[in-house]
Amino acid sequence: MAKEARKNVLTVDGKEYDTDSISDNARKIAQNIQMADQELIRLQAVNAMAQTARQAYVKALKAELEKPAAEETASDS
């Protein structure tokens, strides 16, 4: 049984294109789209980390602001 060669297909708006038959410029543009998609995924992860850190800082600030004044003075000395 011979293995069937699998073609690389680019799908845009539901239309399929054989990547062997598109221009070099179209191939480069498709690569740029992939890089942009990867960067968006990375930035979403960074954003999630920053949001988590912000929430922790807000929680710490609230706890600090709710400390009684006497406790604050004792811990400062």
**In this predicted model, what pLDDT tens digit does every residue of 10-47 receive, in sequence order?**
999 999 999 999 999 999 999 999 999 999 999 999 99
Quote the pTM value. 0.68
What local confidence, expressed as pLDDT, does residue 55 receive? 98
Residue 33 contacts by C-beta under 8 Å, 6 or more apart in sequence? none
**In this predicted model, what pLDDT tens digit does every residue of 45-69 receive, in sequence order?**
999 999 999 999 999 999 999 998 7
Copy the structure tokens of residue 63: 């706890």
Copy the structure tokens of residue 11: 């799908």
Copy the structure tokens of residue 29: 């543009």
